Amino acid sequence: MSVTIYHNPRCSKSRQTLELLEKKGVAPTVVEYLKTPPTAEQLKAILTQLRFTPRELMRKKEAAYNECKLENPALSDDDLIRFMVEHPILIERPIVLANDKAALGRPPEQVLEIL
């Protein structure tokens, strides 16, 4: 089984999720998404697997959210995805992909449902 985690090593929930996976014997591919952000196409696929809208996957307390005026309801999903690709800090984390499914590790145990 191929498992990927979109990980930020500075985030406690991300570290806890990675540790949980490893304790379960899973050796995931780790993507430090701040260094290697997903493409718009990858992000659209992740959103589909999560069954989230772009806004649901955004970190609204990040400075970039306010600086880019992302609260504007006139922005399309494609606009929001473009901002997340350009400013990956806006993407909620961690995201785990496995078995053609995705889960947000908030709480970390939630990712076990897709393994």
| CATH code assigned at 1 | 3.40.30.10
Q: What is the total count of domains within the chain?
A: 2
Residues 50 and 86 in one domain: yes
- Count of Cβ atoms closer than 10 Å to residue 55 Cβ: 13
Backbone angles phi, psi at 32, to 5 degrees: -80, 95
Distances (CA, A) of 84 to 2, 23, 39, 94: 25, 31, 9, 14
pLDDT in tens, 82-100: 999 999 999 999 999 999 9
Convert the pLDDT of each residue in 99-112 to its tens digit. 999 999 999 999 99
Over 90: is that where the pLDDT of 1 sits? no
- State both tokens at 76: 């399309």
Task: Clarify whether residues 15 and 56 are in a common domain.
Answer: no
Has 11 been annotated as catalytic?
A: yes
Domain co-membership, 108 together with 66: no
On whether both 20 and 8 belong to a single domain, the answer is: yes
DSSP run (H or E) holding 89 = none
Q: What residue numbers bound the domain in which 28 lies?
A: 1-33+93-115
Which of 1, 8, 10, 11 is catalytic? The answer is 11
44 and 26 in one domain? no
Question: For 3-13, what is the mean pLDDT?
Answer: 97
